[in-house]
Amino acid sequence: MEVVILAGIRPLATLAADAIEALLRRKPDAVLGLATGSSPLPVYDELVLRHEQRGLDFSRAHAFTLDEYVGLPAGHPQSYREVIRREFTGRVNISPDNVHGPDGAAADIPAACQAYEDAIRAAGGVDLQLLGIGTDGHVGFNEPVSSLASRTRIKTLVEQTRRDNARFFGSLAEVPHHAVTQGLGTILEARHVILVAAGAQKAQAVRDLVEGPVAAICTASVLQLHPHATVLLDEAAASSLRLADYYRHSYDNKPSWQGL
């Protein structure tokens, strides 16, 4: 796991965008794994800028989102399908047909989850997965004590997660109780994982993720088992890390050819 600590979300977004740009230039038909939540938004803004100003080309790329609420009507502004379209995919030249998300409105949720797993596999797997982290350490909607081997399925949201996400809805009562999410086993199969976290409210979850034991109580800690996981942190999110100085030293002395 590589931990990078920088002074603010903008330079973190630049680094993540650099990695995505390098991937697209090397492999124009790359499969991107997209996350919702506020943390990846500066990354999307930076990619949109590069698309507009430098012609960064998404025309052959594919995208799979991590998760989706269950029970929101199609087109609901807070459905993750809509959020991703509004915040990112609708602002670059990726084909809408190439953007996929788990179906939270399916009559047969288990069958839809299996179909999603099959679609990711048929596309050749995710090349680069962007992630945020919940205050309880979740990635996607893999809430505490999710199986570390889980696949795409329905999960019940923890109340804290509903409260955290209520800011996107009119009220807490409007936040669904269930979501479908890629599993931890699914996420582990992405070839490169980049997790972005900012703000003091993420400091404990980040400490558990990076320096805690691999344990389902903090599902993000499963990334310790991933061979290519990058954790991008601002100073506040990194403020509880014991080895922060070591991570800074490693990054400052990294060979320039290495990239993320």
> Where along the sequence are the contacts to ligand GLP (CB under 6 A)?
35-39, 66-67, 132-134, 140-141, 161, 165
Catalytic residue flag (residue 138): yes
> Which residue type, as a one-letter code, is found at position 110?
P
Catalytic residue flag (residue 68): no
Paired with 100 in beta bridges are: 64
**Least distance (Å) from ligand GLP to the CB of residue 150?**
15
Nearer to ligand GLP, 104 or 132 (CB): 132
**Least distance (Å) from ligand GLP to the CB of residue 83?**
10
Within 8 A by CB and 6+ apart from 254, the residues are none
Helical (H) or strand (E) element with 10? helix 9-26
**Least distance (Å) from ligand GLP to the CB of residue 254?**
26
Check 46, 68, 143, 208 and give the catalytic one. 143
**Least distance (Å) from ligand GLP to the CB of residue 228?**
19
CA 221 – CA 216 distance, rounded (Å): 8
Nearer to ligand GLP, 93 or 201 (CB): 201
CB distance 17 to 56 below 8 Å: no
CB atoms within 10 A of CB 201: 12
Using only C-alpha atoms, the chain has a radius of gyration, in whole angstroms, of 17
Within 8 A by CB and 6+ apart from 156, the residues are 143, 177, 178
3-state secondary structure of 15: helix
Nearer to ligand GLP, 61 or 140 (CB): 140
Nearer to ligand GLP, 165 or 230 (CB): 165
Tokens 């109580």, located at residue? 217
Catalytic residue flag (residue 136): yes
Phi, psi of 152 (to 5 degrees): -55, 130
Can you spell out the DSSP letters for 161-176?
HHHHHGGGSSSGGGS-
Nearer to ligand GLP, 150 or 161 (CB): 161
**Least distance (Å) from ligand GLP to the CB of residue 22?**
23
| DSSP 8-class letter at 222 | G
CB distance 208 to 137 below 8 Å: yes
The catalytic residues are 67, 136, 138, 143
